[in-house]
Amino acid sequence: MYHRFVPDVSVIIAVYNAMPYLTECLESVMAQTLGRDRLEVIAVDDGSTDGSGAELDRFAARHPQIRVVHQPNSGGPGGPRNRALDLARGRYVFFADADDMLGPEALQRLLAMADTQGSDLVLARQVGLGRTVSEKAHQHAPEADLYTSEVYRSLHSAKLMRRKTIEDARLRYPEDLWYGEDQIFVTSVFLAAGRISVVGDYDCYYLRRRDDGGNLTSRTRTAHETVAHIERVMALVADRVQDPVGRRRMLGRHFRSLLRTALRPAVAARHGDPAYTAEVYTRARTLVETYWTPDMGGELPRIDWIRLYAFACGPLPAFEQLMEYDAANEQAPREIVENGRLYRCYPLFRDPAAGLPDVLFDVTGQLKAQHRLESMTWQGCRVRLAGHAYIQSLGTDRMDSELLLRERGTGREYAVPAAPCPAPELAGRDPELDMAGFQAELDLATVAGGEPLPPGLWDCFLNVRAGGVVRTVRLGRRHAPDLDRTARRSKVLAREAGGASELAAAPFFTAYGNLSFEVVRRIPLSAG
């Protein structure tokens, strides 16, 4: 019998032919450490024919916290979830799929995060059981920004949501869609939430791929069903998000989805079902023309950016050839350096028939310089710095480096060459890195064109060059564990004639661990 009480969390489960997985799902919910007195479960049986309805009734007879609703099949999870939302009374709701399960402490941890942080939406770290989940979306965070964090990578419904936020915004699942309907609802909740948090330090939710292939997403889709949810969610984002960074990142996420979940199956079906392919192509091209802007390229993996450009601007056979290219299983594409730019030679690079511009293959901006400061020693006004630095994937054959002193505020710079040398700390990693070491000597008394370094705060950088490609990195934060970073006495660089003042420099490491020099003109200190 269902008793009326005010729960902290209402767990909502839409159920359709979920046996035998439903039993494990219900057991995981009732075993929550949150405590049954703080919980209600509303399970809506959407016309099951495999005994799921009877299993729900069996659990409800044993657990007064469970309320079961039986209804004719509606064709998708949106209707049963909405009916459960209408009945829910918890401060928060959590949507669970009937073939998934929760970790024992999931709801307790999610609710604790929500109450501590005042969160309207809390993401639950997911574990894929035969399914792919986003690690980036579930990095632990008491507060996560929708636009600058990675939380929007996760649009699955399994999240803790403040019910008042849902009701105030009058949010419900679209009932005319059975595929992708959760993306529209969850996006609306993201946009309505005042604060978003992530429980990423505990395995909260186990997302299962059913052995019998009964996952709803495995059902065959028409062209309309393939694209409709992407059309709606893109329109929603474009209408509601004015922040340029947020709009770019959120729409970029859906262009990734367009390629992978709509265009990829359309390419595969082009010979067997050309009408399906033609409709998906037409509607996808409209989305590109309506919402795509050049700055979204950075939101896609490079090969997907090339594919999307080929789809929108290139000959269709070039796009289809690129879609059949499997970057994960193919040999890594070769790379070439020209005029200080690195090009990754994916298929159709400089193929005259495809006509794809070189800029699509330019990955120079993705290159990172790896570096570490190994030692710092002083002799008079000279400081000797040694370590290693290299640009990933470029090797050290044509590498050279230089130390750079940049005055904070003005940007004035002085450079000193760094000599290449062996890097014993990298021994055994890669033969190409054997000469990734550097040594440089800064004479602070002469570095400014034969003159002492002028008064000011001078930050220390390293310019790393390889094959004409340059990366500038801040030096010091990445350092050997035994590097002495304690404060040092200042060094006198020059004295004014007559001894009225002197120029002195002192090295220090900033709050972020980076090396800097402070140069001041001062009254000479006494000999003592």
Q: By C-alpha distance, which of 29, 105, 31, 34 is closest to 67?
A: 29
Q: Which amino acid is at 476?
A: G
Residue-wise pLDDT for 185-206, tens only, equals: 999 999 999 999 999 999 999 9
Report the 10 Å Cβ neighbour count for 273.
Answer: 15
* 116 and 46 both lie in a single domain: yes
* 231 and 280 both lie in a single domain: yes
* 102 and 178 both lie in a single domain: yes
The CATH number given to whatever domain includes residue 41 is 3.90.550.10
Mean pLDDT across 58-79: 96
pLDDT computed for residue 528 by the predictor? 38
Question: Most confidently modeled of 148-152, 377-381, 429-433?
Answer: 148-152
> Residue for token digits 């564990």?
481
pLDDT computed for residue 480 by the predictor? 93
Cα(137)–Cα(463) distance, integer angstroms? 33
Strand partners, 522: 502
Residue-wise pLDDT for 483-527, tens only, equals: 988 877 888 898 887 778 899 999 999 999 999 999 999 988 664
In a domain, 519, yes or no: no
* 186 and 245 both lie in a single domain: no
User: In what helix (H) or strand (E) does residue 128 lie, and over which residues does it extend?
Assistant: strand 126-129
Q: By C-alpha distance, which of 17, 177, 7, 186 is closest to 92?
A: 7
Is pLDDT at 397 greater than 70 in this prediction? no
Select from 312, 343, 366 the last residue of a domain. Answer: 366
Q: What phi and psi values does residue 252 have, to the nearest 5 degrees? A: -60, -40
User: Is residue 424 reached through a cis peptide bond, with omega within 30 degrees of 0 on the bond before it?
Assistant: no
In a domain, 402, yes or no: yes
* 346 and 374 both lie in a single domain: no
pLDDT computed for residue 214 by the predictor? 59
Cα(270)–Cα(97) distance, integer angstroms? 33
Mean pLDDT across 155-162: 97
* 53 and 73 both lie in a single domain: yes
The CATH number given to whatever domain includes residue 407 is 2.60.40
Q: Which amino acid is at 387?
A: G
User: Is-contact 142 192, C-beta < 8 A?
Assistant: no
* 152 and 87 both lie in a single domain: yes
What is residue 403's DSSP assignment? E
Q: What phi and psi values does residue 178 have, to the nearest 5 degrees? A: -110, -10
Is pLDDT at 2 greater than 50 in this prediction? no
* 357 and 402 both lie in a single domain: no
Q: By C-alpha distance, which of 476, 475, 414 is closest to 445?
A: 414
Is pLDDT at 304 greater than 80 in this prediction? yes
In a domain, 101, yes or no: yes
Select from 325, 344, 366 the last residue of a domain. Answer: 366
pLDDT computed for residue 5 by the predictor? 64
Is pLDDT at 216 greater than 80 in this prediction? no
In whole angstroms, how far apart are CA 18 and each of 207, 215, 279, 321, 486?
A: 14, 9, 33, 39, 63
Report the 10 Å Cβ neighbour count for 259.
Answer: 21
Write the CB contacts of 74 (distance below 8 Å, at least 6 apart in sequence). 46, 47, 80, 175
Domain range for residue 231?
A: 218-366
* 278 and 309 both lie in a single domain: yes
Pair type for strands 92-97 and 9-15: parallel
Report the 10 Å Cβ neighbour count for 345.
Answer: 12
Whether the pTM exceeds 0.95: the reply is: no
User: Is-contact 367 392, C-beta < 8 A?
Assistant: yes
Is pLDDT at 378 greater than 90 in this prediction? no
